[in-house]
Amino acid sequence: RGKGNDEHARFGWESRLFGKAYDKAEAFERVKYGAVNILNDYKGVHDVRAFGYGDSYVVLKDVRLRTSFTYADSCCCSLSDMGTLDKYAHILEHFTDSEIHAIVAVATAQIAPESQGMHADIGAAQMELIRGCSQDPTTDWITVGFPGLSQQSGCHYFEVLLFEGCRAPQVGVLSTGFDKRPYIMSGEGVGDDQFGWAVDGQHCARWHRGNARAWGTSWPCKPIKDVPKAGPPGGAANERAVCEDVVVGVAVDLDKRTLRFSTNGVWDKEEAFGSSEIPKGTSLYPALSVKGRAAFVMGPRFRHGPPPDQKKSFGQWPGSFGGIVRVDCPELGNSTMLSGFKEYQVHGEVSLKRNVQRLVAHPKYREKQKTERSYARLVPGTWPFSGSYRRAGAREGRAFYKSDGGAVIHWDPQAGLWRISESGDLADFSAWAPPADETPLEPPRLGWKVPDRVRGVIDVDSFEAALEESGVSSDDAKGIVEALSMTDGLEGGKQIYRVNGGTSLEEELKRLEDVSSSADEIWDAAIRKMQRAILDEVNVPEEAEVVETSHPHTSPESFEQAVSIPGTSEMKVQFASKSCTSDSASVFQILAGGLDREVAGAGACVELSVAGAGVRGTVVSKIAGIWRVRLDKRGAEEAAERQDPPPEDWFAVGDTVEAEAVSGVWYRAAVAGVREEVDWYDARRVPVAYVLDWSDGFPVDREKARGQLRRPAQGGGGGRVEDLPRYGLLPCAADERFALCREEPKVLKVAYGDRTVGSEIASFELDATYPLTPFGVGVFAEAGPAQEQGVQADWYFDIVATAMQASQSEAFLGLFQGLGGIPAPPGDDLTAQQRRCHLGRLLDAGFREPKELLQRLNGGLLSMTDVTLHFTNGSCLQKPKLLPEAVAVYGAGQRVGAEVRLFTNPSEGPLAGKVCIDAFNKPGPAQDAGVRTDWVVDIERTRAHNPSKAAELKEDLLLHNPNMLLSMSGVTVVFRQPNGQKSLQFSGSGPPSSEAWRCKALPGSTAVFKFSCRSGNDLDVENRWGVWALVLPQAATRLSVQDLDATAQRWVDRTKRARGMKGAVDVERDEWDEARLRALCARHGWEFEWMTEDGERRRRANERQTFLRDAGDLGAAARAAENAQKLQASILEAERAATAADEAEQPADKGVQKKANTAKF
């Protein structure tokens, strides 16, 4: 989701990353985003400002091959910033050197043997959490030890490594009498009661029975900088930590009952604890209380070893596997070392069953205080009785639960069932379930059943009409109705139950063989008919529609619904009085206006795509998908702009010109030579003829006089038909020229084999008023291949496409030979290009003499065989492109005000300074063209169309008083649509309000309704009742507020009752705790783990033990560790070498130098 739950923001960055790949994707197909934990911090990625990170997380599996990676938050990246597993180098360029070193260190620590940090997590040798609220020594002061290794006799030695930064360390031993209280906050550790003995060099103390006795050794410490200085004496402001690594040796003589300690190999001169303080028969084991990082050294290779005078007496602690046992787990890494936010994107479905490896739960779900815990129950989903139920008493020895809405969960001793009563009446229940075997005194989580009426109930008439519409025979329909009908107390009379006892609509349809509709389709059709009947009760017109959210709406919820009411110029929207959303983040919007093909008609401006160019025109009529378009032509002022140059403006060799061919058509050419003569009167040489190279390669007719040349026209000519290269000078006697276009243009190729064309087509005809397609099928003689393929008498014959086919160009050269007096090219062996060029010249000449061309079609072409003809059903091969302009012609005596009620000139907003339509009185020329209330008057073009009224139509006058247009008649008004697409007309959110939930008339006959809710699930369902909107055509009468609200309530209630509920009822604990989390994992087959260093370490230890087992012995692990160390050393050496080389080169640009270092590294 985007910032502030803005879905559009997400679509924006996704299009930047993935183009259009996800434009039409379903929700489950969209990209899923997660954080890349590159340093394996057991806390996940928590040191970033991103919603949700830092809480529990899931680790995915089997998704890596369809995962992409970005070096930062994906909303700030582009496609070039994305990598995959096999193409990741450019992503690494964004990592710092310290991050690269940290990643390598973490990766190589994965295979480190026991001597480098492996924790032996087997049997009695397991280190345990004795006291403390978590297993994480970096966040809590905890006590750990080896109770499984307790000893009563012998001389044993071990060491404790205290790393820089650890606080309040108490190193020593515990007896078996020390109470284990794991996962409970405790301020008592080793030496704080009679069962522990410890030393604390931070405070120079020996701890036993909670007394801090003097000790002559001090460990180097310093104040913690990030602790505030202010505070009471002795408070947190005085907190200190060990400022360098310390090795504490512990020599335990159980025979003499003495304890001696050393610091960094320096032994105390006397025992710290003697026989008088350690009772006989006491069993002791190594232990440590600390906050910070530390480790036990269990031998046999100690850092310093036992006291020198008793070295042979003390040995490795019995039962331990030896090596270093870390209290913390440094090889896991730390995401605070990240310099940026690394993100990944999973493409495709992420299944809870298949793609989740384990859930890592935050310790807060285990460490809740008593005052923070909830014993309520939650019924999730959208059931009528869904919600949170708190304990409200007891009934028959079991808890009694009640929701804020009055529903209750209670025990029914007579039936031996748990029940849910939506109304609060214990005799009227909505769901029931037998008690669970493991927790009979609490409501069960699963196994709940609901009455048949909850699955869906509808009236008989609507259901029978839906069966008939679906093609179910009357006898079969009668049987289904009898099987599913029941007398219903709520509605009165017989109703249809979708599930009725041992049968259901699905089961009844299985008995029928000739029904193609599914149960869902039939039931949905019945609901639509029921809804229509509700609207009929208040005389709502048939074309009206209802748009609604769910009731109540939930989070997340979103939809987009298009509404179309053909034939209306605007739509009216009425909101039910209860309409509301939970907050401003839940928004209901309506988009309307813009260009609408459905309502465009006479007066609409369009562009036709023909001959590689666009021709503009104005719609004359539009009937049944057929557009008759009047083509724009050059005005006198435009024709005057193109004048021949003065005679003295001679052309030179190399100039590009247009030259008149012998046929009278103008073609492009280049001046290849100039023939000059002496003008004796002026005593100078002047050109008298020009030799040309035709651009199409035509080999003859190359010499032209000065009067047959002109400069090429600049630009496209404004989309006029005269500027098309093929039809530019087609003679047209009529003042107006047209084109006929279709919403579904078609082209058919008809092959005539042994048959002549004339055996089917009696004649072709010519209509010069349609210059784009002047030739059409006149009369059919009899049936034939053209009619079999769908060609009709009003179709056009595409003579150019037909003649230009390479396979039949030779035949058409003979048919058109001599047209326009064009000479044949010299020689008999013409190339394909020369034949095509000559045929094009002949066709152009034919369009100059269309009647002559028609004679040849009705003569030679009709007698041809083995020819393929091209036919079209319109003047262009694409449907017309609607332009944001329209022309409304008001005749003499027809006032503009008869159609338009009011014009306005907004002072602010996107239409400020424009003349806009505020409302219409009745249909007229503007609305016929497709103009609606979101169009504006194009003042400049309106003046151009009305030269006699130009003085009255000045811009300053119209902006001052736009309603002066209303009194005008005999005028042409040009309108313009400022928005090509639909624009926002309404946006509503928040509580019910007659002002906030009021929408002005929507322009046009189509609109898009959108709803988006990404946050807010208010417990009071009335605050999120949702939206119910009735959309009416312009001519319909609005409903009264009373009728509207009553209709909306009946609609919502009966629809909800008819749709019913699917799925099963769950009754969950209304909080997440360990039991519920473990149940979730068991349900989906996930591994479960608390978010602690120790939990992650155990998992890593198991992975390493698997590696050792597969490797065969510890030697393999040692060799792997040595290789890892060599790898790190080689990387450092390579980096030093690269740095030295760059320093030697001394590049001028330091940025280039750094980039070179990175590349070499």
| Residue 299 token pair | 């031998």
Residues 8 and 70 grouped into a single domain? yes
| Residue 933, domain CATH | 2.30.42
pLDDT value of position 1160: 33
Q: Which residue has the tokens 């001028």?
A: 1148
Cβ atoms 253, 289 nearer than 8 A: no
CA 886/CA 940 separation, integer angstroms: 14
Residue 915 domain-assigned?
yes
SS3 content of the chain, % helix, strand, coil (to 5): 25, 30, 45
Residue 1126 domain-assigned?
no
Cβ-count burial of 663 within 10 angstroms (0-12 exposed, 13-18 middle, 19+ buried)? buried
Residue 297 domain-assigned?
yes
Cβ atoms 667, 659 nearer than 8 A: yes
Residue 735 domain-assigned?
no
Q: Which of 195, 163, 198, 202 is nearest to 180 (CA)?
A: 195
| Residue 216, domain CATH | 2.60.120.920
Residues 264 and 153 grouped into a single domain? yes
β-bridge mates for residue 680, sequence order: none
CA 995/CA 964 separation, integer angstroms: 32
Q: Which of 132, 364, 89, 113 is nearest to 1124 (CA)?
A: 113
pLDDT value of position 768: 87
Residues of the chain with pLDDT under 50: 1-5, 110-123, 227-237, 636-637, 639-643, 716, 727-729, 1113-1114, 1147-1161
Q: Residue 772: how many CA atoms within 13 Å on its side-chain side?
A: 32
Q: Phi and psi (nearest 5°) for 693?
A: -110, 110
Cβ atoms 393, 411 nearer than 8 A: no
CA 1108/CA 793 separation, integer angstroms: 87
Final residue belonging to a domain, choices 268, 296, 326? 326
**Which H/E stretch holds residue 573?**
strand 570-575
- 3-state secondary structure at position 962: helix
Residue 1018 domain-assigned?
yes
Residues 8 and 102 grouped into a single domain? yes
Residues 13 and 103 grouped into a single domain? yes
Cβ atoms 264, 304 nearer than 8 A: yes
Final residue belonging to a domain, choices 944, 976, 1008? 976
Residues 322 and 349 grouped into a single domain? no
Residue 845 domain-assigned?
no
Cβ-count burial of 678 within 10 angstroms (0-12 exposed, 13-18 middle, 19+ buried)? exposed
Q: Which of 1027, 1024, 1023 is nearest to 1010 (CA)?
A: 1027
Residue 186 domain-assigned?
yes
Residues 934 and 1081 grouped into a single domain? no
Residues 17 and 54 grouped into a single domain? yes
Q: Which residue has the tokens 């928040």?
A: 990
- 3-state secondary structure at position 498: coil
Q: Residue 131: how many CA atoms within 13 Å on its side-chain side?
A: 19
Residue 1142 domain-assigned?
no
Residues 196 and 283 grouped into a single domain? yes
Residues 1007 and 1092 grouped into a single domain? no
Q: Residue 409: how many CA atoms within 13 Å on its side-chain side?
A: 31
Residues 311 and 179 grouped into a single domain? yes
Q: Phi and psi (nearest 5°) for 928?
A: -60, -35
CA 150/CA 128 separation, integer angstroms: 13
pLDDT value of position 488: 72
Cβ atoms 863, 884 nearer than 8 A: no
CA 295/CA 307 separation, integer angstroms: 20
**Which H/E stretch holds residue 144?**
strand 142-145
Residues 206 and 305 grouped into a single domain? yes
Q: Which of 420, 373, 405, 377 is nearest to 1018 (CA)?
A: 405
Domain limits for position 584: 545-593+999-1038
Cβ atoms 888, 973 nearer than 8 A: yes
Cβ atoms 422, 384 nearer than 8 A: yes
Q: What is the pLDDT of residues 19-35, one digit of tens each?
A: 878 877 777 778 888 87
Q: Residue 999: how many CA atoms within 13 Å on its side-chain side?
A: 30
What is the number of structural domains in the chain? 6
Q: Strand 155-162 and strand 205-208: pairing? A: unpaired
Residues 306 and 349 grouped into a single domain? no
